[in-house]
Every structure is written in structure tokens, then in C-alpha cells.
Amino acid sequence: MRSAYISALLTAAIATQAAGQDSSRMRSLTDTTSQLKDVIVTASRIAERVNEVPSSVVLISRNELARQSQISNNLPYILMQKIPGISPSEEGQNNFIGKLRGRNFLVLIDGVPQSTPLRNGGRDLKTIDVSAIDHVEVINGASSMYGNGGAGGIINYITIKPEKTVPFSSSTYFNNSLNLAKADETYGYNISQVFKGGIGKFDYVVQGKMAHSGVVRSADGVVVSPFYGLGETRTYNALVKLGYDFSTRHRIEVMGNYFNSIQDSKYIGTKGNFGVSPAIGVRGDTNILGGTPYNKTLNIKYTGTFGKTEANVTAYYNDINSVFEAYNQIYSDHWGGRFNFSTPFELPGNNQVLLIYGIDFLKDHTVQKDMADKLVTPDMNMNSIAPYLQSKFILAKDWVFKAGVRYENLLFKVSDITKGTNFVPGATNTYDALVFNAGLRYNRRACMQPFASFSQGYSIGDIGLVLRNGVSLNAIDVTPVKVNNFELGVNGDIQRFHYEVTGYYSTSKKGATFKEVTPGSFELIQLPQKIYGVEAVLGYKATSWLRLGGILGYMDGKEDTRNDGSYAGKIDNSTISPVKVGGNVNVKITRRWDISMQMTSIGSRDVFPKDAWNYGKYPVNGYTLFDLYTSYKLKHVLLTFAVNNLFNADYYPTHSAVRGATTEGRYYVKGTGAVANLGVVINL
């Protein structure tokens, strides 16, 4: 099998050279935050440069996304490569164990929430296609600036921006993929088209994508169980963005995005045996098509200037349906409005202060049903009103100080439900949360820019997971859980070397863990937790033709298992990710030809005795993956060739070990074997 793989790899590489090879140079493989000149909008709800934010921020540029998508079109896999503190990719439809620094994160598309916190569907990272994204903004650590769910941070997908300087431009992307360990039934393709331009005061973006993935095979050529998998899946995405500038001071923009991803497999999954044999795919069929039948996002935004005050007013709508194979489905829709204003003031001594203030409104409706549309949870409704005030001081030109507060009022209402013979009446309750943040940054020297911050985030937790067991809302405490996050870091540029090193420490009174009590049935356990870690992002431009980069993410934590303040217990592997080390090398062979390689190594974690093995407590074995990318650029054409899992590593993703033998081992699957990708990009 190994010799067959090597032969297939050599054949694919030779075919690529014959085709002309290719690549657009895409900056550096490590497109790190400080190397980019883009602005961010997530941290304080205003556009500001990275060095004005007193916290750890990661930006993934459009060029880097384009490069990574030729290696793997799976967004969680791309994020794993670039974000030190995010959980390893599950390599499936879901991101159930997805955490940022060990806490839940909030996913946004242009500021519109994609997460479903009332009943976690684990699909929020895969609600848009890579080809529709301009860049990704990641705010590490607790943040409340966009409301419930940002206890670990915020991941904001910023959609493609219009090209205002030309009336019409076109970009076409086509990619073919094939498993190199065993090619049978594994062929897949991705094709996407982007049109954009500007005519006078009007500008537009139109994007469309369709794709079909083949059967997924592990390194030994065996079909991986399709249970919540990415194989044999058809995906469609359509984005339209229209903008109009009334003047240089007033603009309106409308964005609509539709995403559909459905698996229709000719295989069914077996049961796995933890530590012995994985769940695999065997010939068979099911009439349940798992995936995301639809995710609809609509965003209408007005920006304007009135005197010194900048206004940003947004109305949005999101509707998502997630189907879970052999289980049920979640329907969730959000309506909301955001009114954000910022006003600068001059202070004595050439100092400045910017006040950022406003109010958010949100109506969230979520329900879980079985495949016959019978209620699994009651209808859950949450209405939220949240005023906030942030301040940004520029002191003596080199000091940036921020502080702010946000108050959230939450109204919960759940409907009646009958579980078996048990009738559970509906209920209505009101809760609130007050969160605070403060941070300081010093920017005098480019070689060393230290920052420190304290921030609070909050989450109401997955209340649908409890309510589906026939429990009344009045019987549980859904008071928002606060997370206190302390962060200390430094970044800088020393000639050709760039670095950022950050340490963090976060606490919460009710961290969430799970325990499987019967196959497929889980009990929610909430205990006080402390999580701490260190992250690093490094980049080195050795010569004009050689760039090096790397990331490091380490975390650990303790929980108070006896609720007596002792914090003697270890936190399980669904929350604490093993140490992650990543590296990349980018070589510019000629002016037109680039080649690069990246490595990601996920460590092992085995901290629980065998008699305690359950969800999140099985031992995690480490693994190391290498990816190859090369490209050759012609006048309007870019030819690309990439291999995901270059050396055909035989491994179990972290998620397989986290779920282990739970749900009869159905999640215990191997990772994907080596996959070659041959692509072309045409820019006109």
C-alpha cells in the first residue's frame, strides 16, 4: 500500500509539471497578524489597526485562505493551521469539541451570529464556503462585544469585498482532488466563480460555488465511516453583496449568503472498538441525508458620518437547519439590529479619547426535532437587549488604553412539551449579565510592543441539551456564566524577524463537561474551572526567496470536582487540547514559481485512569501532518498542485479519541489519507 501511494504521488507531481505548475505568491505562508496592513472591525466594533488592540488578534488574509483552500477546503482544518489556541479539526461535518483557548467561541459572518447557543448544533464553523470569504478575524480570549457565546473569543468571517476601481473583474477557481493511497471512488471537485466591480457610486460582488467530494479513505485505503463525515457530499454557496455610496460620508450595503451541504453516501458506518479498530464504511444506504440543508444570512448595513460621529447601523437575519444522521435536526433563526456609534474627543496634552457606544437587539428562536418533525426540545426563544459603552484613549501617542462595559438583559421563553407520558409546561424567565473589559498597550518601539488586558465574556450554555430530557426551565439555572480572562503578551519586528508571544489565564464558575450514561445519552456536568496557556506566532524572512514561520499553542487547566475550592481535578480532553506545534517553509523558486510545505503536530494527552474513561477522558494519541503546495503563475492563470497529508500518515484525529467508545464507537474513525489537489485559478 505504501509503495502504491508513493508511485501515485510521483505520477501526480510529474503530471503537474507537465501542466505548467503554478502559483501566485500569496505573501508568506505565515501571513501573521502584524505582517498585514489590513484593519480589523471585530475587537471594538470599529475599524482599527491591529497595533491599536491590547489583546491577541489573528488575521488570515484572502491570499492565505486561497492557498490553504487548495490544500483542504475544510474551514476548520484551515483555522487549525493558523490559530494557535483553536481545537484540532474534527475532519467531519461538526465542531462539537471546537474550543478557543478551552472555551466556546462565537462565529460571525460580517458580524451576523452563526452559532446556535440555545442548542449547540456544532455547525457554525461550516456555514459559508472559503471562496466567499475575504479574510478571517479572530479575537482570542473572552469577549462580550457581540453578545452571548464569546467566552473563548470571536471568529468573524468577513465576506469578499467589492473592487471599486474597475467596472468588472472575474476570478474562476477549479480544483480536482484524488486520494493517493487508493483512488477508487475518491475523485472530488470544487468550482467557484466570483464577479465584482464598481460603476460610479454603485459596487457589487457575486459569488457562486458548487462542489462534490468523493469517498474518504484513510492511509490504508479503507473507507472511513461516513457518520457525520465529509465524503460524498454536495456543497453549494451563493453570495451577493451590493453597495451604494450616497456620498463620501454615507453608504448602504446589502449582503446575502446561502450555503447548502448535504451528504448522500453509498456507505454506512460500522461501530468502532476504541484502541482496537476504527469505525469504517461498508456498502449500504440510508434515507437520512445528513448535513446542512440551508444556512441563510442577510445583512443590511448603513455607515455614515455626522459631524465627528461615525454611525454604523445593521439589521440582520440568519436561518439555519442542521440535520444529524440517524438522529434529528436543529432549526435556529436569529433576527437582530445593531446601532453602533463612535465619537472622538481631544484631551489636553495632545491626548485623545474615542467613545464607542450603542445598543444591540436580538431575537433567537431554536428548536430540535426528530426526522418526523416531532419535538425533541420545546420551542426555545430568547430576546436580548444590550446597551454598551467602550472607551479608547491614545495617551502620549504611544499608549493605547481601553475600557468598557456591556449590560445584557435576556428574556427566555420555552413552550410546553410532552416527553413520553410526561407533560412539561412551558415557562418564562428573565436573566441579566454585566461584563467589563480593560486593556493597555505600549507601541513606542517596533521591536517590542507589550500589552495586557482583562476581559469578561459570558455564555448561557446549551440549555436545549438539558430541556430535551423533559426538564422544566424552572428546574435549571440558565443564568449567564461569566468567564474572566487575563492576558499578557508582547509582539514586535526585529529586522527580518516577527514574533508574538501571549500568556493567558481564564476562570469560570460553571465550566461544562459531559458524561455518557447510556449509549448516545449524555449528562451535563458544570464545575468551576481554571484554564491557562501560552501561544506564540513566529515569522522570519530569511532572504527575498525564503520565508519561515511557525505557531505554538499550549494549554492546561484544573477544575473543582468537589466544589470546595480545591481545584484538584484535571479538565477533560474535550476542553483542553493537546499541545500544538506548526511550522511552514515558503520558497520562491523563480519570479513565477513558488513551493511551500507546512507541518502541524498535535501532541498526546493521557491524564485519566482507565476506570474513569468516558466522554473526553480517553487517552489522546498525537499525530503529525505535512502538506505540500506549489504554484506557477502565468499572465492571467495560476496553476496549483497540493497534497494534503503528504506522507500518508495513519492516525486518529483528536476528536476520535475524545468520543472514544461513546455512542458505541461510531465516532472512533481514522483521519484522511494523502489527497492530491490539482487546481487552476483564472483572473480576468
Domain boundaries, the chain: 2-683
**What is the pLDDT, as a whole number, of residue 46?**
81
Buried b (16+ CB within 10 A) or exposed e, 52-62: bbbbbbbbbbb
H helix count then E strand count, the chain: 5, 34
Mean per-residue pLDDT for 6-30?
37
What DSSP assignment string belongs to 402-450? EEEEEEEEEEEEE--EEETTEEE--EEEEEEEEEEEEEEEE-SBTTBEE
pLDDT at 13 over 70: no
pLDDT in tens, 125-157: 999 999 999 999 999 988 877 777 788 899 999
**Closest among 3, 39, 193, 243 to 681, alpha carbons compared:** 193
What is the separation of C-alpha 152 from the centre of its chain, rounded to a whole number of angstroms? 12
Cα–Cα dist 288/2, whole Å: 35
Distances in whole angstroms, Cα of residue 653 to Cα of each of 89, 191, 324, 520: 8, 28, 20, 20
pTM here is 0.91
Architecture of domain 2-683: Beta Barrel (2.40)
What DSSP assignment string belongs to 115-162? --TTS--S-GGGSS-GGGEEEEEEEES---TT-TT-SSEEEEEEEPPP
- Three-state SS at 15: helix
pLDDT at 286 over 80: no
pLDDT at 15 over 50: no
Cα–Cα dist 365/362, whole Å: 10
Cα–Cα dist 237/240, whole Å: 10
Q: Which pairing describes strands 380-395 and 351-370: parallel, antiparallel, or unpaired?
A: antiparallel
Nine cell digits for residue 259: 450555503
Mean per-residue pLDDT for 418-442?
90
- Three-state SS at 630: strand
**What is the pLDDT, as a whole number, of residue 482?**
87
Distances in whole angstroms, Cα of residue 160 to Cα of each of 237, 241, 443, 501: 13, 8, 31, 30
Mean per-residue pLDDT for 598-602?
97
Q: At what angle are helices 75-82 and 62-71 packed, to 10 degrees?
A: 120
**Closest among 99, 78, 77 to 87, alpha carbons compared:** 99
Name, of 33-47, 296-310, 454-468, the range with top average pLDDT. Answer: 296-310
**Closest among 440, 443, 342 to 388, alpha carbons compared:** 342
pLDDT in tens, 330-366: 999 999 999 999 999 999 888 999 999 999 999 999 9
Nine cell digits for residue 479: 443564568
Please give the angle made by the CA atoms of 516, 522 and 527, to the nearest 5 degrees.
Answer: 95
The mean predicted confidence, pLDDT, of the chain is 88
Check residues 460 and 576 and name the one with the higher pLDDT.
576
